[in-house]
């Protein structure tokens, strides 16, 4: 078994292919949609050198596992090949990822007293590993991975004056940064968002916006396509704080679901936090239904003398 750091953008496609085939073998249980990989790498970990936070294990059969340790979120994405699930190797990967995450948190001076993890409810090995390793359930309702089949979709209903279209490119980075910031309160800047748009995996034609009557962006979603499983992904979805309660999110999702069907997707998925009733209601109103439940865990960060 060889363990190495992330090298370059060729690893993005390598890991996306790995996850697509792992999801196909397991009905998506425990595996990120391939689109989540560049999203987590270049969006969620945009402040870090990927060679520092991404580790890949390989054997004679190709990728055996990978781990993306996110200091800012104090959490790791860990994916192990299906034939190695439940093995001593998986335990070693999990141990390594936790140690490396703690090292990165200390190196970057990240504040906080806990680290976080998730486990699909249908993954008994991971749940037992976490329990044996000092992790405890966070007490919140589980995250929900929702799925929809792309047929018999409801018709989008946009308020007068609003339209939906794809983003055109980096020349719209300022407007996209603003709608992202106003949707989630995250301090996006045009320069940072342009960097995300220029990263591997992102495609402007897969980011969709609702344009308000005054020409500004009122809502957005970034979408991703898994052509192995014919599964689309929405990640993230947001509505500008000045344009909420107008049905824009539902109209946007329904419009893009129809577009996904035209490019070969047969299903789509989206995740909602268990405590987020607004997101849960939005996705149900579009026809999404729960597929997998994902529990959250936490663990105290050991204090050093």
Fold identical between 2-112 and 151-265? yes
Q: CATH number of 2-112: 3.90.1490.10, 3.40.630.30, 3.30.70.20, 3.30.565.10?
A: 3.40.630.30
Chain CA centroid to CA 5, Å: 21
pLDDT beyond 60 at 10: yes
**How many angstroms separate the CA atoms of 102 and 115, rounded?**
8
β-pairing, 207-211 vs 217-226, is antiparallel
Q: How many CA atoms lie within 13 A of 84 on its CB side?
A: 22
Q: What are 26-73's pLDDT values in tens digits?
A: 999 999 999 999 999 999 999 999 999 999 999 999 999 999 999 999
Homologous superfamily (CATH) for 151-265: Gcn5-related N-acetyltransferase (GNAT) (3.40.630.30)
How many CB atoms within 10 Å of residue 60?
7
Q: Give residues with Cβ within 8 angstroms of 146, minimum separation 6.
A: 269, 270, 271, 272, 283, 288, 289, 290, 291
**How many angstroms separate the CA atoms of 59 and 57, rounded?**
7
Domain ranges of the chain: 2-112, 151-265
Rounded to 5 degrees, what angle do the CA atoms 156, 159, 162 make?
90
* Residue 303 pLDDT level (bands cut at 50, 70, 90): confident
pLDDT beyond 70 at 305: no
Q: At what angle do helices 190-197 and 173-184 cross, to 10 degrees?
A: 110
pLDDT beyond 80 at 304: no
User: What is the token pair recorded at 70?
Assistant: 């996110």
Q: What are 84-100's pLDDT values in tens digits?
A: 999 999 999 999 999 99
Q: What are 91-148's pLDDT values in tens digits?
A: 999 999 999 999 999 999 999 999 999 999 999 999 999 999 999 999 999 999 999 9
Q: What are 157-197's pLDDT values in tens digits?
A: 999 999 999 999 999 999 999 999 999 998 999 999 999 99
Mean pLDDT score across all residues of the chain: 97
């Amino acid at each position: 078994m060889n363990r190495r750091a992330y090298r370059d953008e060729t690893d993005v496609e390598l890991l996306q292919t790995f996850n697509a085939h792992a999801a196909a073998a397991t009905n998506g249980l425990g595996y990120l949609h391939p689109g989540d990989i560049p999203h987590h790498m270049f969006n969620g970990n945009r402040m870090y050198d990927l060679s520092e936070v991404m580790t890949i294990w390989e054997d004679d059969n190709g990728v055996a596992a990978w781990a993306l340790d996110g200091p800012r979120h104090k959490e790791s994405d860990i994916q192990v090949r299906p034939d190695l699930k439940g093995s001593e190797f998986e335990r070693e990967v999990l141990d390594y990822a936790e140690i490396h995450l703690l090292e990165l948190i200390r190196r970057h001076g990240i504040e906080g007293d806990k680290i976080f993890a998730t486990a699909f409810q249908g993954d008994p090995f991971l749940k037992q590993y976490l329990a044996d390793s000092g992790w405890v359930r966070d007490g919140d309702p589980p995250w929900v991975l929702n799925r929809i089949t792309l047929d018999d979709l409801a018709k989008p209903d946009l308020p007068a004056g609003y339209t939906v279209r794809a983003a055109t490119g980096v020349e719209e980075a300022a407007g996209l940064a603003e709608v992202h910031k106003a949707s989630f309160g995250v301090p996006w800047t045009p320069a940072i968002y342009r960097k995300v748009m220029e990263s591997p995996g992102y495609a402007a034609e897969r980011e969709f916006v609702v344009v308000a009557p005054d020409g500004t962006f009122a809502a957005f979603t970034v979408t991703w396509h898994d052509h192995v499983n014919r599964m689309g992904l929405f990640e993230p979805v947001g509505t500008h704080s000045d344009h909420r309660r107008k049905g824009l999110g539902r109209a946007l999702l329904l419009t893009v679901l129809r577009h996904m069907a035209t490019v070969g997707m047969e299903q789509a998925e989206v995740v909602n936090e268990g405590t987020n009733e607004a997101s849960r209601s939005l996705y149900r109103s579009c026809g999404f239904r729960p597929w997998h439940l994902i529990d959250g865990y936490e663990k105290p960060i050991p204090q050093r003398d």
